[in-house]
Copies of this chain bind each other. A is one copy, B any other.
Amino acid sequence: MANITMIQAINQALDLALSADDRVMVLGEDVGPNGGVFRATEGLYEKYGGQRVVDTPLAESAIIGSAVGLALGGMRPVAEIQFLGFIFEAMDQMSTQASRLRFRSYGRYHVPLVVRAPYGGGVRTPEIHSDSLEALFSHLPGLKVVTPSTPYDAKGLLLASISDPDPVLFLEPMRLYRAMRQEVPDSWYEVPLGSARVVRPGDDVSVIAYGPMVPVAEAAAETLLQSDISVEVIDVRTLNPLDLETLSASVAKTGRAVIVHEAQRTGGLGAEIAASLQERAFLSLEAPIMRVTGYDTPFPVPSVEDWWLPDADRVADAVNFVLHY
């Protein structure tokens, strides 16, 4: 056990996977001697060499497309897209290739590929670097989409993703990389894909969040407690396939739900969660399911981003809204 940050937990997971399985390799832009622009791959090039920790040319379609081939050829590639906003360049390889090869080959082939990408705002990046695009990928059958909100989950979910026989998009909330420390076991453990986590039990309202918005939801819950409002906070963790059991059980209990994400509201993952929950828990609902999200504009420049991003205050407003509906 060590008290470490999320980026350290990710680094540990990669290190463990590389040492446990010769087939595992890491590829991407600047993942080699530079150790990744966020240091996720720090020390791995030195430890495992340039054959297994590979700086690729600056070409995302080539990264994902060749990783599909590597996976088919018996490797276990863990590819990095430097910032999620640049995955658009590899969109075909993600959408019609990696995620469909099992289907297209009628089960003959599969693509055990993990694509890691930092995402989300809060760290004042230049434009396109802070986009939250999880909704696009959650609409692609054949792909799993995962995002941790703690160091412990980051390591356990990443190892589970690497073990998974299917392609997994592993989204790393940039602003949580170094935001907190947590005791994390040194050895291999997995947090199963497809299961949400009740972060904090509560009775009055369910606040459903993931990735960078989990601490925001927790902060809102803490504040609301002072007004005697008991909030159940749930971390979705796997965005596709969704753990609708856990989510709807919570809403069945509380009768009210607020969904929080950074991504733009229209067509965001909150829509899917809300739509599914009102189907499953209609008779329990005391108020509409509300969404607290990024606004329907492109992610703004740094001077505006604090205003644009959902915060605890907006979450609290939404909770109060559904409580007094």
| CB of A219 closer than 8 Å to a CB of B | no
Known: A91-B92, A279-B289. A267 touches B104 (CB 8 A): no
Secondary structure of the A side of the interface?
helix
Distance to closest chain B CB from A1 (angstroms): 37
CB contact between A103 and one of B92, B99, B298 (< 8 Å): that residue? B298
0/1 per residue, A101-134, Cβ < 8 Å to B? 0011000000000000000000000011000000
Give the number of copies in the complex. Answer: 2
Chain B residues with Cβ under 8 A from A263's Cβ?
139
Chain B residues with Cβ under 8 A from A240's Cβ?
266-267
| CB of A135 closer than 8 Å to a CB of B | yes
0/1 per residue, A87-98, Cβ < 8 Å to B? 011011011100
A287, B264: Cα distance in complex, Å: 28
Q: Interface residues, chain A, CB within 8 Å of chain B?
A: 85-86, 88-89, 91-92, 94-96, 99-100, 103-104, 127-128, 135-136, 138-139, 141-142, 240-242, 263-264, 266-272, 274-276, 278-280, 282, 285, 287-291, 296-298, 325
Other 9 A-B pairs with CB < 8 A, given A88-B94, A91-B92, A278-B288: A88-B96, A96-B128, A103-B297, A135-B135, A136-B139, A139-B267, A240-B267, A266-B272, A275-B289
